[in-house]
């Protein structure tokens, strides 16, 4: 899985190691950071593009993110696609758990699922929320899920 910086440069290290080194560097600068992980998807013809982001937010000092973009030659029903987005985010969150615990960094998983029942994505809200909370992660959905609905969305549009 290839991860990049927002400027398009590839991370030279595996994502877990890159995140750990980034946390260490930020903490050495005196920055308190929090991580937000989210995934968004978009259908293009007969392909579905997925973008997963790890957003590093510095307390009162801005932030930056690492991104992963993948095109899948499949089409998914809306509920399946929403739950796949959540699964991708949870996998990244799970892989980073021990690093975040070691360095006392808080994390939230953001789902690009609308809490308003008038939107199609809402069909997956209860399952997604149960999945994320069941894994022990803090959870946010739209309109508070900026990692997925704004940051990851920016990568695929």
- CATH number of the domain where residue 8 is located: 3.30.420
* Closest by Cα among 133, 140, 126, 40 to 81: 40
Q: State the residue range of the domain holding 116.
A: 4-156
Its pTM surpasses 0.85 = yes
The number of domains in the chain is 1
What was the pLDDT predicted at 122? 87
What was the pLDDT predicted at 68? 97
What was the pLDDT predicted at 61? 92
CA 19 – CA 29 distance, rounded (Å): 15
Task: For helices 15-28 and 78-102, give the axis angle rounded to 10 degrees.
Answer: 50
């Amino acid at each position: 899985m290839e991860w990049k910086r927002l400027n398009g440069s590839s991370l030279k290290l595996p994502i877990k190691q890159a995140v750990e080194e980034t946390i260490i560097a930020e903490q050495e600068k005196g920055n308190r950071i929090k991580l937000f992980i989210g995934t968004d998807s978009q259908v293009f013809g007969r392909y579905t593009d997925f973008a997963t982001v790890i957003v590093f937010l510095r307390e009162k000092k801005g932030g930056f993110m690492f991104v992963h973009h993948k095109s899948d030659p499949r089409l998914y029903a809306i509920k399946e696609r929403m739950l796949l987005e959540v699964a991708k985010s949870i996998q990244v969150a799970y892989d980073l758990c021990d690093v975040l615990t070691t360095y006392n960094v808080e994390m939230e998983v953001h789902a690009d699922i609308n809490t308003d029942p008038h939107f199609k994505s809402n069909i997956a809200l209860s399952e997604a929320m149960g999945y994320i909370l069941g894994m022990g992660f803090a959870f946010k959905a739209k309109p508070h899920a900026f990692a997925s609905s704004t940051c990851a969305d920016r990568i695929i549009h």
